[in-house]
Structure 1
């Protein structure tokens, strides 16, 4: 039997809608004696990442822990953190097309406590029907509680929701929770996603 089109889009932020350019830190290591990748790797260590994305640490506490772990100066960490990426234009147009066609769209992301500030920085506050932040929810992808809250926020049953995310573990967790899910690999995925939403 042919699967019915999804009625709601749940879209990830980092790695899907927001991208980070690898050449955004020219001369950083020479100036500070530490590579940007070392700061990122430290921040993504689960013992530091989990309290940051579940709201138990502020973003500044997370940054302080990265500095303590790597020995980076406060100036280096501040410069690293000042670059907040860029919004992928075709993905944003896809979000807008989905909403224009009557599909509910939620931003669903593991984020630190400053997500709303980032959305304001990029002028994205009005681009979604709902924003589901792990720091605000106090639970993270891919827990069933996170996905249940996301589906409730768009008032759509899980089997009518489509998650787009760039992390395999989140895709698997969403499917366990009853959602359709597709791992994002780049703009070449957009035609399939438009078809999945009957756009």
Structure 2
């Protein structure tokens, strides 16, 4: 008797499944086709994106080669074109390189180019900070310590990723302004930071020696 009930139950399940399939099969098949099409489209997009990135990488390397060969105008034109129509990462890389190329011909224009990167909300905050640092180094020769400090001091805090470079800029700007107290302060901040790169620590040590030699000799000493 149990076998009969089980057979009836299985027949009912098969019949219900057949009815469901008859009613919904086109939707199931359609969904499956959409999944297949979506996977195919995504794969095609990835392949296209990789091809574009490879092409932009080659274009960028060509622009750098032009710059190294002294063909700065051609390099700038090539970088400008990548900035206009390149893929995301290379567009930003081209902007930074173009700012550097601009600065070799005109420091003021180079600073403006870095300032534009620093003010662009679409640029990652870490890279905005890098743009400020690059502009700061360019400003050291001509800008006042006060102007540089207004820009760079916010980057010199203990929790800031660009603090080492920011402190070096501030120390150098203060030294050039003959503000030996601030120069010493910033270079001391460089060498006492345990995470500072070795090359930067060495430069700071040299600058502290120069600052010490510039200190006026006290009477009676």
TM-score for both structures, normalised by structure 2: 0.29
Report which of the two has the higher share of helix: 2
Who wins on radius of gyration, i.e. which is larger? 2
TM-score (norm 1): 0.31
